[in-house]
Every structure is written in structure tokens, then in C-alpha cells.
Amino acid sequence: MQPLSAIVQMFHVYKTFDDNYRALIDINLRIEKGEFLFLVGPSGAGKTTLMRLLFREERASSGQIIVYGRNINKIKAGRIYQLRRKIGVVFQDFKIIPTKTVFDNVAYVLQVLGQPKSEIERKVYAALNRVGLEKRMDHYPKKLSGGEQQRVAIARAVVNDPVLLLADEPTGNLDADRAHEIMKLFNDINLHGTTVLMATHNIGLVGKMKKRAIYLREGKIAHC
């Protein structure tokens, strides 16, 4: 129905929380397939909330959201995993499983898909290598530094070449060099066809990358 070139479309989306706090107001947004888009805005603007809507961690209060050709409001609870498997997410608070090693955390995304062991190993090695954590593979997350944990989260998000990558402040705990490497990684992935939506405060990064950026302020889109 909608043009195949759009991977995300949001029509008049509102999100109001229980306490009547309006986190998102009348969001209209279209992300093209293969695009690299920044989501910028001050603390509390609604960046994380917008991303949460895209993989149905939260539901929109009103409005329609279409991801990869499906109206995600209409997906049944038992089928949400199908949506999520197409989307890689770097969570702002990492969300690493504390009882699994670094390797197992990254591998879990592939195990869920029932991929054979040898392929899982190959892919996980590659992903950890890309973020510079191949030596930390057998450690439990508690023993890692903040930046290392963030890189585990990044490795997990990209390990299966998702159709859509949502990265929420993925360089907040990384030094400039590391941050630059990660941006290169995202760029690579983007060139291989993954659509990337990245929320960040780092205006410097946004400037350097020369990509489209959306400005959120108090739940509303300011620029486009």
C-alpha cells in the first residue's frame, strides 16, 4: 500500500503517560529505506519514547505507526517478536542480561532465531571484534566498564544485520576515538542496507556526519 521506499511512517502520533504527561505530540515522520537519520533534542524531549514506540515497547496513545509495511498497532501480543527480530536496538541503559557472559548476550539474538552454532559463533566473533571487545567475550557484564557495556549493547544490536537499527545515545559513555569508530561501524552497516535511526545529544557528531537530523523539543518535532 505505502511506497516500498519508506521503512518507518508515523502519522499524528501522540504518547501520553499515565500521569497525563504528554511525551510526544503530533509526530509525523517518514524514514526512507536505507536512510541514516539523527534524532536530536534536549534531555526529556521524547527521543527514547519515540524509539520505544517503533518496536512496541510502548504503544502510541493515538495515531498510526507503520514499520516495514505493517501497522504495528495491530500486531497481536504473541507476534511482536517478529517485528523485534527485524530491528536492532542499542538501549540507552544498555539492557544487558547480567547472568549471561558477553558472548552469550550477543549470541542470544541469533539463538532465538535457531541459527546453527557455527554460524552463531562466527557472527558473534565478528560483531565483538568490530566494537573491540573480542578479548572480553567470556566476562560477565558486571565486570565491564561503562563504555565496554555500551559496546556490548552495540554489538548485540548489529550482530544480525537488522533491517532497522535504533541507537539511543550509543556513544554517551565512549571517548571521542571510540565514538568515531562506532559511527564508522554504523555508517558501514548503513551502506549495506540497514536503515539507522540514532538519538544523540552530541551535536558535534551530527555535524560531522552530514546526515538528515530531526529536532525534538518538548515532544514536538521542531525542524525536519
Partner 1 sequence: MLIARIRQILYFLHQGVKNLSVGGISAIIAVTSITCSLLLICLYFIISSHLTKAFDLEKDIRVVLYLKESVSKNRIEPLQQKLTNYEEILGIKYVSKEKALEKFHHILGEDAIILEGLNNNPLPASFEIELNHEAKEINRLKSVLHQWEVLPEVESVQGGVEWIEKLSGFIIALRISLCFLGGILIIISLFIIASTIHLTIDNRRDEISIMRLVGATDWYIKLPFLFEGVIEGILGGTLAIFLFWVFYEVLRWRITPCLQLIFNFSEINFLTMKQIFIVLLVGGVIGGGGSLLSFFLQSFQHR
Ligand X SMILES: Nc1ncnc2c1ncn2[C@@H]1O[C@H](COP(=O)(O)OP(=O)(O)OP(=O)(O)O)[C@@H](O)[C@H]1O
- The residues binding Mg ion (CB under 5 A) are 48, 92, 145-146
Please say which residue, 43 or 118, places its beta carbon nearer to ligand X: 43
- Can you give 62-127 as a three-state secondary structure string? EEEEEECCEEHHHCCHHHHHHHHCCEEEECCCCCCCCCCCHHHHHHHHHHCCCCCHHHHHHHHHHH
Task: Say whether residue 175 binds a copy of itself (CB under 8 A).
Answer: yes
User: Residue 28: enclosing H or E segment and its boundaries?
Assistant: strand 22-32
Q: Which residue type is seen at 83? A: L
**Residues 3, 69, 193, 204: which binds a copy of itself (CB under 8 A)?**
204
Beta-bridge partners for 31: 8
Provide the minimum distance between the beta carbon of 109 and partner 1 in the complex, in angstroms, as a whole number: 5
CB-nearest residue to Mg ion: 48
Q: CA-based Rg of the chain, rounded to a whole angstrom?
A: 17
**Residues 7, 47, 133, 186: which binds ligand X (CB under 6 A)?**
47
Please say which residue, 7 or 205, places its beta carbon nearer to partner 1: 7
Provide the minimum distance between the beta carbon of 176 and partner 1 in the complex, in angstroms, as a whole number: 29
Q: Which grid coordinates are listed for 114?
A: 535457531
Residue 111: is it exposed, middle or buried by C-beta count within 10 angstroms (0-12/13-18/19+)?
A: exposed
Task: Say whether residue 81 binds ligand X (CB under 6 A).
Answer: no
Residues that bind a copy of itself (CB under 8 A): 17, 19, 41-44, 47-49, 92-93, 139, 143, 145-148, 150-151, 168-169, 172-179, 201, 203-204
